[in-house]
Structures are given as structure tokens and as C-alpha cells.
Structure 1
Amino acid sequence: MYEGAVILESLRVGTELTRIPLVVRKISRYDVSSATTGRPQVWSVLEFEVEDWHAETLSRELASTLDAPGWYADFHNAMEIFVVFPGRVFRYARGDAAARADAQAFGRELGIPEPQLDWTE
């Protein structure tokens, strides 16, 4: 089982994720006064679980539905991590510092602020 989160405002308008059964663990809304220019000041976060056999499909679906630039979603299990950007998926073993650095570097290229490149390791 993978656990993760997606900021709902990061999804393109008109997006529907219907083919992947997600278990919703929590829905929260946060005031993000530090949001960069062009970002909403309030974020809605959906925390979820997804079965192992749906992880790859979910990563592809998110890669095609996340708004660009500067958004990502992530999810992980005990052994690996998916970090999904618009049009790009990073999948690596937990603890692989080089792969994490590659994903963070890509996020920086998209203009994601450093404090937000903090997904669960």
C-alpha cells in the first residue's frame, strides 16, 4: 500500500481521476501565505492510500493532469517513492540520495520553492 498527498489546486481544471481506486485518509485546507506569485493562498490537500498494483497507473495519470509549471504530488510505501511532476515521474528506492537530488533539481527547474521540495523520504 502506498500513501501520499496531492494538492487539489495543482490539478488542471477539468481533471478527473476515475480509473484508480483511492482510499481517502484526510482532506485538509491550509492558508499558504508563503505561496509564490500565481499560486492560490489556500490549498486543499487530499491524503490518500492506493494499492501497490495501481501505483504506476496513478503516477502516469497525475503526470498528465498536474498543472504546469511548479506543482508535484508524491506517494510512497516502505520501499520506494514516486514524485510526480507535470509530464515527468521520478520513481526511486527510499534512501537513494542521488535519485532524490535529481527529482529535487527537476522541481527547482519548474520554479518550486526549496521549502516545498520536502516530500517524505
Structure 2
Amino acid sequence: MQSSRLPEMERYTRHVLVCTGNFCGENRAGRAIYARLASLLQREGLLFGATRVKRSEAPCLGVCTGGPIVAVYPEGVWYAGVTFELLERIVLEHLKDGRVIEEAVFHRMTAE
């Protein structure tokens, strides 16, 4: 018998999408970035609670070059060529402190 209760989603402050597809980054580098993201979020206390950051992997974000690609919402900021070093900065500066790393941004979603 199916429950009539609706699912519940724990609140989160940001949602990070990581392209893990084969085309935008060599040697499936996006998968390594996605895996490292979890450990960095945990280390910085961003996996649970009021400052929770949700992470998702996407097989394709439609860029298909310059990867690994990481997109951060609700800001709609997209980073290209994400290395472990840049990911560390994204977690510390953008996700934790709210400062976008402007020199690494290649795309922004804007209201039209």
C-alpha cells in the first residue's frame, strides 16, 4: 500500500550541478570533481543543516567543451575547467562565503 504522505525535501541554500559526461572533460574528470565535492562539503559543514548545499551530477549540461563544468544555483553561475584547486575555492569562497570567483566564470543565467 502506498503512503498518502508527500515526500519532504530538507532545505538547502545552493544547488551545485557537476557535468560527469564524457564530452566536456577528458578521462571522466567530472566524476572525480563530483566525488571530491562531497568530501569538501562535509569538511566545511555544508552537507547538512541550515547551510546545506545540495549536489547533483548531470550526464550533460549542454556545453560539451571546457570541462569539467560546475554550475551553482540559485545564482546561475557556471564555472569551466574546474580542477581540484578551483573546486576548493568554489566551496570555500562561493558556497561558504558567498563570493563568486569571477575570473573562473564563463556563463551566468540572467533574467530576461
The two structures have a TM-score, normalised by structure 1, of 0.31
Higher RCO (CA 8 Å, separation ≥ 6 residues):
2
Higher strand share: 1
The two structures have a TM-score, normalised by structure 2, of 0.32
Give 1 or 2 for the bigger CA radius of gyration. 2
